[in-house]
């Protein structure tokens, strides 16, 4: 458990209650991430999601390390339609890991993705730049 707004404890496994998987498909840009070995040193990372069946998704990650493009092909599934924000993703055989859509813009312009572990977190956006323009009135709250 971790502290949430107003010092309430919220489960790390909290995900969006509604996820339109078809709207989620397409290209996403990685804006930020927790560092981990399989993406270490990568930049300009994008992910392409393509629906391949009722609860199945083709995943293609692309990024650059030392100027060379690297691709990773995987698959995702929604194991329980009652919890559409809790997906599982695999990049190797039948070994699946949690893929939790924890926050999602109403217009599907950004997503916060994590897992049941506190080791993984990504901020994704539909464009490579997601910060508000100067003078827009948008603020980032401080804790």
Report which of 95, 99, 92 is spatially closest to residue 15, judged by C-alpha positions.
Answer: 99
| CB contact set of 140 (below 8 Å; sequence gap of 6+) | none
pTM value > 0.85: no
The predicted model gives 120-134 an average pLDDT of 79
Residue 122 predicted with pLDDT over 90: yes
Look at the chain and count its residues: 143
Q: What is the pLDDT of residues 62-75, one digit of tens each?
A: 999 999 999 999 99
Task: Compute CA distances 37 → 5, 31, 40, 130, whole Å.
Answer: 31, 17, 5, 25
């Amino acid at each position: 458990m971790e502290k949430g707004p107003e010092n309430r404890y919220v489960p790390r496994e909290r995900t969006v209650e509604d996820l339109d998987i078809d709207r989620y498909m397409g290209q996403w840009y990685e804006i930020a991430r927790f560092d981990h070995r399989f993406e270490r040193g990568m930049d300009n990372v994008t992910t392409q999601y393509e629906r391949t069946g009722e609860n199945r998704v083709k995943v293609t990650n692309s990024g650059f390390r030392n100027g060379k493009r690297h691709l990773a092909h995987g698959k995702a599934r929604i194991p329980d339609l009652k919890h559409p924000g809790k997906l599982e993703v695999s990049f190797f055989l039948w070994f699946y890991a949690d893929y939790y859509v924890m926050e999602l813009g109403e217009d599907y312009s950004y997503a916060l993705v994590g897992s049941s572990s506190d080791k993984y977190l990504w901020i994704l956006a539909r464009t490579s730049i997601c910060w508000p323009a100067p003078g827009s009135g948008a603020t980032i709250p401080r804790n």
